[in-house]
Structure formats: C-alpha cells, structure tokens
Amino acid sequence: MQTHYNFKIYFLDMDGTFVDKPEELPEGKLGISQENLDTVSKLAKSKPVIISTGRSNSDYLLRVAKLINAPYCVCQNGSLIVDSNNKQLQKIEIDEHSTQELIKYMQSRNLFYTMDEGGVIYYGKNYNCDFERPWVKLLKKVPYKDMPKIKKACKFLCYGVDKDGINQIIEELKVKLPHLTFHKVSYGYSIEITSDKASKGKGNAFVANLLNIDPKECVHIGDTGNDTNALPEIGSFIAMGNATDEVKSFAMKIAPDFRNAGLAKLIKELENM
C-alpha cells in the first residue's frame, strides 16, 4: 500500500526513541537494538537521517552517528551542531550572567545539576535523592564546593524534587530568566534549560538548510517536551508511544512505544519497508 508520507529528512531523538535498550548503557553498550540500527541504516541509504538530541557531542553519540551514516548531529537541544567528524558548525551558549544566576539558584534549592553533560553531576547536602533516573549512574557526582569556575554553558539539566516541585521551579525561572527555554524531561522529573535562541527545531532547520531541503518537508521523532520544540520550524512531529499525553497532543501521529524496536516499526510503516 502506498504511503501518504514523503519526508525528506528524518530527525531522530535518542533516549526514549532510538535508544530502546537503555538498561544496557551502564554496561558500555549502545543500548540500541539491532533492528533499530539496521532499519535506520537502511533508511539512511535513501534519505538523510540526523540525530537530534539533548545529549552532548560525546564519543558515544558520534559512534552512533557513524554507524547509521548520519552526516550531522543536533546536540544539546539545538545549542550545539556538529558534523560526523565532530567539527563544530554552530554553538549557542547561555550568557554569562544567566549561567551564574542558574548556578546560584540551583545551589540555593539544593538541586542536582549538570552543565553541557560533561560527565559530572553537582550536588549539595545530599549525595542521592528519590527522583534520580537510571542515566545518573553513568555520571560522576561532585559536591558544589569542588565545582570549577564556569562562565558559560550551552545547556543545564537539573533534578531533585517531585513533579510538582519541578513545575514550581520552571515557573520561578521563567520569571527570573525569561530569555531562557525550559523543558521537562525524564517523565517530568528533570528540567533542561537552554538559550531561547536554541531549540531542536531551530537546530534541525539549520541542518536542513545545509542540505538544501525545506525544513517543512522533514519530520522529527521523539518523546519529550524538548522534541515538541521541533515545531514549528520542522513540518511534522511524531511522538513515541511512551511520550506523555501533553507531548502526544503536539504530534501528527503516535508511534509504538520505544522499547522492542518501536522506532524501527514506525519507520517500516512510514517508508513501506
């Protein structure tokens, strides 16, 4: 049966979308099923496939990009864009004043936070909390007092309170720093913060223009609030089945749950594979 879809570029989120075996990540594995890898690699032979993620441009991310022949990676929610050789093409930082204000705020609230996902989580009074996600195990924890002097960052991620507390923090920071963008991730238990000049949509559109393709003819596939910001620059957004109802409300289509190669199932349907 002929499909009605003819997307020119596929922009793929990583965690909760492409990474369908996250329990394998602490073992040093990719955390991606062979079916997902094979299906995405096959797709990449006929049209560009781009990683578009909140993750930084790590060795892990570049390894995945090379495996699927992705020419570019939109990292840190669009605040950093690199090619497959890790050449930096665009970087959008939070200004120095706002960076320092965020650090002060997070420490005053005793939050756990990381900047640019540099492999470190900074903590205050408590080493652990009840709201940590599994990915925290991959990072080193350092007390506030040992944090080096940092002037600017592209992205913050923080956690340490329940979902109501996360909502309260977002509302407070929107008033305090209205020129920044805030997204709930990790099922509402964490916040990602970037400049309002950066988003997955803006980053995706930058890459689409590099490839001389209309961003409106492209699709972004993901599962969290930072993925909904692929709109309006990108023409279509598809939410994974594991996304929250709020995220799904932005989607033109709902995919299967990310586990058990849900992304591969979606692509096979869209491309009549």
pLDDT for 133-181, tens place per residue?
767 777 889 999 999 999 999 999 999 999 999 999 999 999 999 999 9
What percent of the chain is modeled with pLDDT above 70? 98
Side chain identity, residue 222 = G
Domain 10-92+198-271 in CATH 3.40.50.1000: yes
Angle, CA of 93, 96 and 100, to the nearest 5°? 115
Q: What is the mean pLDDT of the chain?
A: 94
In this structure, the number of other CB atoms found within 10 A of the CB of residue 66 comes to 11
According to DSSP H, which parts of 120-195 are helical? Answer: 163-176
Distance CA 33, CA 223 (A): 18
Residue type, 91: K
AA letter at 147: M
> Which candidate, 180, 204, 210, places its Cα nearest to that of 192?
180
pLDDT in tens, 187-209: 889 999 999 999 999 999 999 99
pLDDT in the model for residue 128: 82
More confident residue, 131 or 190: 190
Domain 96-195 listed as CATH 2.40.30.10: no
Is 56 a residue whose pLDDT tops 50?
A: yes
Our measurement of the distance from residue 173's CA atom to the centroid of its chain's CA atoms, rounded to an integer in Å, reads 20
Would the pLDDT of 1 be above 60?
no
pLDDT of residue 3: 54
pTM across the whole model: 0.90
- CB-based contacts of 256, cutoff 8 Å, min separation 6: 240, 241, 262, 265, 266
pLDDT band, residue 2 (cuts 50/70/90): very low
Decide which of 9 and 29 is more confident. Answer: 9
- Residue 69, pLDDT above cutoff 90: yes
Residue extents of the structural domains in the chain: 10-92+198-271, 96-195
Identify the bridge partners of residue 184 per DSSP, sorted by sequence position.
191
Confidence bin at 124 (pLDDT 50/70/90)? very high
Stretch 102-127: mean pLDDT, rounded? 92
Q: What is the mean pLDDT of residues 98-125?
A: 93
Task: Answer whether residue 23 shows pLDDT above 90.
Answer: no
Give me the pLDDT at residue 5, please: 84
Report the relative pairing of strands 49-52 and 88-91 from DSSP bridges.
Answer: unpaired
